[in-house]
């Protein structure tokens, strides 16, 4: 029987495109509804490996993508939000959570697709509430998934009666370990190419349900897809720190060893699924379809991932040691740029904001260190080049972090966000800018102090007043730093403190004018002193701006 290869290819591609669109829409809708829930779940992670696995299961079920979860975990490890052992536990759970996708698409293909598209489009377009819009989007997207699978299934049907294709398929459908291994390799390669195990699972179920491939071939392909999906996390770890690379490699090792164990008992595995699920997987009805096979494939996918996780949980610390040994820790000096923040389009908005917040804490810590080093320089009787160089170095780091955080969040703002997520994102951009400005004014202080040392020492009441004002501003910064880290913030307290410091600055400048009038201070010294006070006053203003941003974000 002649078949139109071109028609099959473009129909499969079209169906795959509809399927991808549905998966993306469903994932986005679930993330929008469950974003805060996911963030709270992540925050509950402890060193308990069972709890970490459960977190991975729940988060992946909510976002409908193990790739999203593993990329997120790699980012969290990179940012220091999660330990390596915790990350591996979450990755184990993600492998179980992703099996829910197989159960969703194993529902009779196409039966409810157009119905769900019709029901979902109306709240998506006309609902006023964002929650109902997202619920409509989820229904519409699930309908698109079913519809895409129906298109692909229809495209594959001509292949089941084509002698050339059936002859080629014989090599992959024979009940031999060589055939099983060949199917695993094919499944792995194809998943690495399209970087979506869900899409490959959809194609596998569509081919099997349309009668093109038998159950053993489909089950082996699914095993290969579990290995292929690890490429996403490995790519996400490129450019990350050592722990991020270790987490991604642990994911790959876990899946490879799990598949090796399952391959060793593959015939028993197939028989167990046939015993567990009613109906022969390879039963072909009058239309030439296999109506039972989709549920068998989804069951096999779940059993494999649950079994592999149960086998590996006791050895989780051992796996952590193995990836630590094959990925040695290199001596790292302080970075002048970020390696933590990846592409926000690969992350949940709530998680991207959490990562950016973590970087904001790092930026705050650097500015805090800058305050301490600047104070040491201010109190010195002579110019200390090492301190001056260190302050300059910190200022460059604040510039780079501010720029990269801002670019990251601006890319995030291009995505559909909730009102709360948008407000927090804008607040983080503002805080990063204010912190960078504080760093600029601290560097200016060192320049003015060096001018004092060259042109005449700062002494007497002027010195005492300036040092006292500096310490008050530094203390004010420490308070805002604690508020950024803890989230506890009383805006009114910061308002009063800001006004007190502003009045203190005015008083110091007035004293300088009196000193010039009385001839106690030279005009050049007074000018330098005023520049230093003004720098501190502006730093105080930027700290107050951070307080306002925190208030708006809360």
**What secondary structure does DSSP assign to 526-546, as a single string?**
HHHHHHHHHHHHHHHHHHHHH
The answer to whether the pTM exceeds 0.85 is no
DSSP result, 263-295 = HHTHHHHHHHHHHHSSS-TT---TTS--TTHHH
Q: How many CA atoms lie within 13 A of 126 on its CB side?
A: 5
Residues 6+ apart with CB under 8 A from 43: none
pLDDT of residue 334: 40
d(CA 554, CA 549): 9
Q: What CA–CA distance (Å, rounded) separates 165 from 163?
A: 6
d(CA 39, CA 250): 23
pLDDT value, residue 490: 81
CATH topology of domain 344-553: Methane Monooxygenase Hydroxylase; Chain G, domain 1 (1.20.58)
Q: How far is CA 236 from the centre of its chain?
A: 10
Which residues contact residue 191 at a Cβ distance below 8 angstroms, ignoring those fewer than 6 apart? 197, 200, 224, 225, 227, 228, 229, 231
- The residue written with tokens 């159950």 in the block is 215
DSSP string, 342-392: --GGGS-HHHHHHHHHHHHHHHHHHHHHHHHHHHHHHH-SS--HHHHHHHH
- Residue labelled with tokens 């490959």: 200
pLDDT score for 412: 84
- The full set of domain ranges for the chain reads 5-326, 344-553
Residue 330, pLDDT score: 61
What's 498-512 look like in SS3? HHHHHHHHHHHHHHH
Segments of the chain scoring below 50 in pLDDT: 1, 331-339
Conformation bin of residue 328: beta by default, left when phi > 0, alpha when psi is -120 to 50: beta
DSSP 289-346: --TTHHHHHHHHHHHHHHHHHHHHGGGHHHHHHHHHHHSPPPP-PPPSS-SS---GGG
Q: Which residue has the tokens 């991932």?
A: 305
Listed in sequence order, the residues at least 6 apart from 311 whose beta carbon sits closer than 8 Å to its beta carbon are 258, 261
């Amino acid at each position: 029987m002649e078949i139109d290869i071109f028609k099959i290819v473009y129909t499969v591609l079209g169906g795959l495109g509809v399927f991808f669109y549905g998966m993306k829409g469903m994932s986005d809708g679930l993330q929008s509804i469950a974003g805060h829930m996911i963030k709270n779940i992540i925050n509950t992670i402890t060193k308990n490996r069972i709890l970490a696995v459960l977190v991975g299961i729940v988060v992946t079920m909510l976002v409908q993508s193990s790739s999203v979860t593993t990329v997120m975990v790699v980012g969290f490890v990179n940012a220091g939000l999660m330990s390596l052992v915790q990350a591996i536990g979450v990755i184990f759970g993600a492998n179980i959570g992703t099996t829910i996708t197989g159960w969703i698409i194993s529902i009779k293909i196409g039966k409810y697709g157009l119905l769900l598209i019709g029901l979902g489009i109306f709240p998506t377009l006309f609902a006023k509430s964002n929650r109902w819009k997202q619920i409509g989007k989820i229904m519409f997207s699930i309908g698109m998934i079913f519809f895409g699978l129906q298109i692909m299934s229809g495209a594959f049907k001509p292949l089941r009666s084509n002698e050339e294709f059936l002859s080629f398929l014989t090599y992959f459908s024979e009940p031999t370990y060589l055939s099983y291994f060949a199917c695993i390799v094919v499944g792995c390669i194809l998943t690495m190419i399209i970087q979506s195990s869900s899409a490959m699972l959809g194609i596998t179920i569509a081919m099997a349900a349309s009668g093109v491939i038998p159950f053993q071939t489909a089950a082996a392909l699914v095993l290969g897809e579990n290995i292929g999906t690890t490429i996403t996390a490995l790519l996400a770890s490129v450019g990350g720190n050592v722990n991020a690379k270790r987490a991604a490699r642990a994911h790959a090792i876990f899946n490879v060893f799990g598949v090796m164990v399952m391959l060793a008992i593959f015939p028993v595995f197939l028989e167990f699924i046939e015993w567990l699920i009613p109906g022969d997987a390879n039963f072909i009805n009058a239309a030439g379809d296999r109506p039972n096979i989709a549920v068998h494939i989804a069951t096999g996918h779940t059993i494999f991932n649950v079994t592999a996780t149960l086998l590996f949980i006791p050895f989780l610390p051992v796996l952590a040691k193995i990836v630590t040994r094959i990925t040695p820790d290199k001596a790292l000096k302080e970075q002048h740029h970020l390696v933590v923040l990846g592409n926000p389009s690969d992350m949940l908005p709530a998680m991207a904001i959490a990562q950016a917040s973590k970087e904001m804490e790092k930026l705050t810590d650097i500015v805090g260190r800058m305050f301490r080093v600047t104070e040491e320089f201010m109190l010195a009787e002579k110019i200390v080049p090492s301190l001056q160089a260190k302050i300059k170095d910190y200022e460059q780091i604040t510039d780079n972090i501010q720029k990269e955080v801002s670019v990251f969040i601006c890319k995030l703002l291009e995505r559909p966000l909730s009102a709360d997520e948008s407000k927090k994102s804008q607040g983080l951009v503002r805080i990063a800018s204010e912190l960078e400005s504080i760093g600029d004014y601290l560097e200016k202080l060192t320049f003015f102090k060096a001018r004092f040392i060259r042109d005449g020492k700062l002494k007497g009441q002027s010195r005492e007043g300036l040092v006292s004002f500096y310490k008050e501003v530094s203390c004010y910064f420490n308070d805002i730093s604690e508020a950024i880290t803890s989230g506890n913030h009383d805006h009114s307290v910061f308002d009063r403190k800001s006004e007190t410091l502003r009045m203190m600055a005015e008083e110091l400048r007035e004293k300088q004018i009196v000193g010039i009038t009385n001839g106690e201070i030279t005009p050049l010294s007074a000018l330098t002193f005023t520049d230093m006070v003004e720098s501190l006053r502006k730093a105080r203003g930027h700290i107050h701006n951070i307080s306002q941003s925190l208030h708006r974000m809360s």
